[in-house]
Amino acid sequence: MPTTPTSGSPTPSTAAPQKATSSKSTNTSRTSVSSSSTPTSTPGAALGLAILTFLATFVIMRRQQRSKGKRRNQSSKDSGGLELNTPQQQQPTPASKTPFVTETSGASGTYENYLPQSADDKTIQQKAKSTLDQIELHVENFYRNSSSSAPRPDNAELAVFDSPYLPAPLTSLLPRSKNKVNIMKHALAQSVTSSISPSASPARSLLPTEYVLLPNTITSARSSVPAKAGSTQIMSRWRVMTAYLRPDPIKDATYINRRDRQINDAVLSFANAFAPWKNTGYKDEERARSLSAILEDAANLGIFLFSQPSTLGFHWPSSSELGPGRIVVSPALEKRSNEKGQELVEAQAMVNMVVLDA
């Protein structure tokens, strides 16, 4: 008789399938979890690798910078261990707001570019020699050694042209000289060159008044007041600055009118003083016109010489230096300082003097 199972006891036919089902379910679940986690872990790993790479690069670069800094500090020290300034350590210099003097530029600044520049020696020589030659030719053409029937000038008229570089006054030299033309050359040249010198009396100067007031004052005081240190260099700078700042004399009607009056007075004075020795082959108007043109050229020469940075002047040796019977009929032009106003050890002759028999 078959046995009837009791309630609650599993039967073999049903227990085995349940275990297999459970195992399959578990495997399916594990496979599902593994498959779903794979795409999530890939970007995380890449991000981590990027962070590690960045940190490693940063650390390496920092070490390199520190190493370079140490080498620069070591190279910026001299053999005694003193620290030297390097371009990185120097403070930047702010741009200067003024175009003038700076600590590095010294005395030179941009304003000097506007001042009259030094002419070359050849130009100076040509200008000066041209005027001096014209003076000689004027006397040679319009005067002679023999006297004419013209009335004798009084002593006062001749005394205007007396020269400290002649051995005696004109009133005593002319009557006994066989070379009156040479004496007249000296008298005219000395009168003209002194009238274009900055130290000339303003009353008879052919230069602008501003050019002569200060130099004349200094020259007049030299007998009692010694020259100040650096005066030659300072006067050189004063001349070129005055020449630049003063309006162009050639375009200044006031100066031109005064200059022309001075020229007319000088022409008339010379004609009267030396009338007995004039060449009657020329009219007085021709004589006057010739000398007027020479004096105008001389005034322009004086302005030109004044504006030069170098100190230039006419040299007249005394009669004792030349010996008896000899006189200078045309002076030398000398350069007495360089372009910086520094005195030369020995004056440089730009134009040589002309010495003849008296």
pTM of this prediction exceeds 0.75:
no
Angle between helices 284-306 and 180-195 (to 10 degrees): 40
What was the pLDDT predicted at 221?
Answer: 81
What was the pLDDT predicted at 179?
Answer: 95
Q: How many angstroms separate the Cα of 247 from the Cα of each of 32, 196, 241, 311?
A: 106, 18, 12, 22
Inter-residue contact 132 to 331 (CB < 8 Å) = yes
What was the pLDDT predicted at 70?
Answer: 52
Locus of tokens 């010996």: 323
Cα(191)–Cα(183) distance, integer angstroms: 12
pLDDT in tens for each of the 358 residues of the chain? Answer: 444 434 443 443 433 334 434 444 444 434 333 344 444 445 555 556 556 666 666 666 666 666 555 555 554 444 444 444 444 444 444 444 444 444 444 444 578 888 989 999 999 999 999 999 999 999 999 999 988 777 787 889 999 999 999 999 999 999 999 999 999 999 999 999 999 999 988 999 999 999 999 999 988 887 667 778 888 899 999 999 999 999 999 999 999 999 999 999 999 999 999 999 999 999 999 999 999 999 999 999 999 999 999 999 999 998 889 989 999 999 999 999 999 999 999 999 999 999 999 8
What was the pLDDT predicted at 30?
Answer: 40
Which residues 6+ apart lie within 8 Å of 299 measured at CB?
196, 206, 207, 259, 263
What was the pLDDT predicted at 63?
Answer: 66
For residue 56, give the amino acid letter.
A
Cα(316)–Cα(237) distance, integer angstroms: 26
Which two structure tokens, joined as six digits, stand for 175? 């009557």
Inter-residue contact 334 to 348 (CB < 8 Å) = yes
Which two structure tokens, joined as six digits, stand for 336? 């007495």
Q: How many angstroms separate the Cα of 80 from the Cα of each of 39, 68, 74, 298?
A: 66, 22, 12, 67
Can you give the residue ranges of every domain in the chain? 125-357
Q: What is the DSSP letter of 80?
A: T
Angle between helices 121-142 and 284-306 (to 10 degrees): 160
Inter-residue contact 196 to 298 (CB < 8 Å) = yes
